[in-house]
Amino acid sequence: MISIKTKENMKKSSLIRAMFEEGESLRMQYGAENVFDFSLGNPDREPPVSVLNSLQMIVAENKMGSHRYMNNAGYTDVREAVASGINQETGKKLSYKNIIMTCGAGGALNVVLKTILNPGEEVIVFSPFFGEYKFYIDNHGGKIVDLPTEHDTFEPDLNLLEKSINPSTKAVIVNSPNNPTGVVYTETLLKDMASILERKGREFSSKIYLISDEPYSKLVYDNVKLPKILNIYKDSFIVSSFSKSHSLPGERIGYIVVNDDMENSKEAIDGMAFSNRILGFVNAPALFQKVIARTMNDTVDLAIYEERRNILYNSLVKLGFSCIKPQGAFYLFPKSSIQDDMEFKNRALKHNIIIVPGSGFGCKGYFRLAYCTSMTTIINSLPAFEKLSKEFL
């Protein structure tokens, strides 16, 4: 009935979604208040009031044609607003022409990869990584190259990166703040990475793109500064969304930024607008493009996530779990009490704790907790985590 490839990919499907479905089953069995679901990065916070007000105003205005097709890259005024916001952060002089509005960051990544990849070309990622990368790359005939990070920092091993680049290398994907670790890559690290890509590109007479996946760029703690990739490497793209910053994951609204310093940037922009159409997205959702244009600089209250991070992190460390304190996003990535993270996940389920094994991110022996769930869930889960930890004493 369905293709062999789809059948095979379904067997390797997202552990994140699998654990979310597990949570649904447990909630039906035990009641939602007795299940501690940390599986999905699905913010419980409502969007900022300005977003809701803008939505109401736009609907009330009822302008003729506001729900029709537009340029495949999105409304010009919306793209201009996104470009302006990025210019304020980076000092760049981007115009609307450098922006393609997309169906979320996932749609953006697929558009970029569709546009740049030839069959068999390689895309380097650093584990732990968002598991869907492997499917996105495969969607467009690419080959994923998974490089492990240094587990004391979860930062890329740049020596390994340099050794892994070859004439077939087309792109490197970085995700900072990182899902699942919450690590923010330093400017020094990214500049050193850029130097490697430039050097290897010259060696192989090729262009190696750097794709910065930044849906958590507005969720950074402790006055940590997020380096601006557009100012670091000229052959770079940013893919991002408003799913996390504005608590709008279900609205599927994101964008691509094409660095204006890139040679033949117009060709890349035209190619991505074309790919947006032929992938079936056609264009980003019209209504929420207009909402975003009015609320670009508004975000959810970061202090709420910071408080949840601190409570959950401090509690788990006190119980003996080893974990890097996240600098951004809304995930913890502790080491599991046994190397078999799938078995650890099963043991957690006995306490109604829903976690995602590190294997789902290409990193065995760890597990991810999404603390964008409610404070009530976090507080009520702590006795269950204590019982779980005692099983391994």
pLDDT category of residue 6 using cuts at 50, 70 and 90: confident
The fraction of the chain above a pLDDT of 90, given in percent, is 88
Beta strand spans in 289-366 (E): 331-332, 353-354, 356-357
308 & 290 share domain: no
Asked whether residue 219 carries a pLDDT value surpassing 70, the answer given is: yes
Give residue 13's pLDDT: 67
- Between 14 and 81, where is the model more confident? 81
258 & 120 share domain: yes
Domain count, the chain: 2
Distances (CA, A) of 155 to 128, 182, 358, 359: 10, 11, 16, 18
Is residue 383 exposed (0-12), middle (13-18) or buried (19+ Cβ within 10 Å)? exposed
Give residue 161's pLDDT: 98
Q: Write down the mean pLDDT value for the chain.
A: 94
Lowest mean pLDDT across 10-19, 135-144, 148-157, 284-293: 10-19
**pLDDT tens sequence across 106-161:** 999 999 999 999 999 999 999 999 999 999 999 999 999 999 999 899 999 999 99
Taken in order 289, 291, 297, 300, the sign of the CA dihedral is: negative
258 & 122 share domain: yes
Asked whether residue 21 carries a pLDDT value surpassing 80, the answer given is: no
Q: Which of 279, 295, 311 is the last residue of a domain?
A: 295
**pLDDT tens sequence across 153-185:** 999 999 999 999 999 999 999 999 999 999 999
pLDDT category of residue 234 using cuts at 50, 70 and 90: very high
231 & 253 share domain: yes
Give residue 24's pLDDT: 74
183 & 241 share domain: yes
62 & 208 share domain: yes
Residue with tokens 């910053």: 245
Give residue 65's pLDDT: 84
158 & 222 share domain: yes
DSSP per residue over 277-306, as a string? HHTT--SS-HHHHHHHHHHTT----HHHHH
Asked whether residue 384 carries a pLDDT value surpassing 90, the answer given is: yes
Domain around 308: 4-46+300-390
pTM of the model: 0.95
Asked whether residue 348 carries a pLDDT value surpassing 90, the answer given is: yes
DSSP per residue over 90-132, as a string? H-----GGGEEEESHHHHHHHHHHHHHPPTT-EEEEEES--TT
Q: Which of 245, 271, 295 is the last residue of a domain?
A: 295
Cα dihedral 376/382/385/391 (nearest 10) = -140
| CB within 8 Å of 176: residues ≥ 6 apart | 183, 184, 185, 212, 214, 226, 227, 328
Give residue 19's pLDDT: 72
pLDDT category of residue 26 using cuts at 50, 70 and 90: confident
Asked whether residue 94 carries a pLDDT value surpassing 90, the answer given is: yes
178 & 226 share domain: yes
d(CA 164, CA 138): 19
Asked whether residue 259 carries a pLDDT value surpassing 80, the answer given is: yes
3-state SS assignment for residue 354: strand
Give residue 11's pLDDT: 67
The fraction of the chain above a pLDDT of 70, given in percent, is 97
21 & 135 share domain: no
Judge whether 257 and 105 are in contact, CB under 8 Å.
no
pLDDT category of residue 366 using cuts at 50, 70 and 90: very high
3-state secondary structure 21-87: HHHHHHHHHHCHHHCEECCCCCCCCCCCHHHHHHHHHHHHHCCCCCCCCCCCCCCHHHHHHHHHHHH
Give residue 324's pLDDT: 97
114 & 237 share domain: yes
Q: Which of 295, 324, 350 is the last residue of a domain?
A: 295
CATH number, domain of 318, equals: 3.90.1150.10
261 & 305 share domain: no
Asked whether residue 12 carries a pLDDT value surpassing 70, the answer given is: no
Give residue 7's pLDDT: 73
Give residue 14's pLDDT: 64
154 & 291 share domain: yes
CATH number, domain of 110, equals: 3.40.640.10
Mean pLDDT value of segment 301-328: 97
Asked whether residue 315 carries a pLDDT value surpassing 70, the answer given is: yes
